[in-house]
Copies of this chain bind each other. A is one copy, B any other.
Amino acid sequence: MQVAVVTFDGFNELDSFIASVVINRARPDGLTAFITTPTPVVTSMNGVEVVGQRSLDFVAEADVVLIGSGIRTRDVVADPGLLAALPLDPARQFIGAQCSGALVLATLGLVDSMPVCTDVTTRPYLEERGVMVLDEPFHSEGTIATAGGCLASLYLGAWAISRTIGEDVARTAVDYVAPVGEKRATVERVFAAIRTPVHALS
């Protein structure tokens, strides 16, 4: 199974790379993440140029799509061409959004009936669209999840592994990336945060 980590120009490196690295720990178990970009090269909010591993064409075939965050997400949601290149389908894909990525989900009509998590900067833009924002790092309903605060991208990655491969593999992946001496506590914290009620794909 494959994960598209959608990464736009102006992206926050933490939001795309924490999720992709933890997911790629599950590669031997059958789940691989790819940095997926609208242009061959994207430049981060800190000026780092990254070569995309997949183009947006990959979004339609991915089993999981995670929308990254950055400083230009409001340009993304104002661009009909970019939005049309994100044919997300919650009936057959797991869909997650990190921080301002929730604005993309809201624009695509994917969080009309659920509250979301996001960062403090994005929060007012979601609230003015009538979306309820939680003071929590992670929330999922059905096949859709949102995370707020850069480091909560670990939770999004753990959720993606849990829902596709299984919680045991996800716990092993989080354990690997956790700080030495804090591995057990980190795993417990992550899985307490993501263990909200979820529903299997219909």
Contacts and interface: CB of A to CB of B under 8 A. Distances in A.
A13 to B, nearest CB: 4
Nearest to A133: B180
Contact of A150 (B20, B50, B53, B177): B177
A183 interface: yes
A149 B151 CA distance: 15
Interface stretch (A41-49, A60-68, A80-88, A159-167): A41-49
B24 A20 contact: no
Given A48-B35, A48-B53, A150 B181 contact: no
Main secondary structure of the interface of A (DSSP, over half): mixed
A150 B138 CA distance: 21
A155 interface: yes
Interface residues on A, range: 35 or more
A182 interface: yes
A201 interface: no
A83 B137 CA distance: 42
A178 B152 CA distance: 7
Nearest to A123: B180
A193 B118 CA distance: 27
A9 to B, nearest CB: 14
B136 A151 contact: no
In the A-B complex, list the 6 residue pairs whose CB atoms are closest, starting with the nearest.
A137-B179, A148-B180, A152-B179, A149-B179, A49-B51, A13-B17
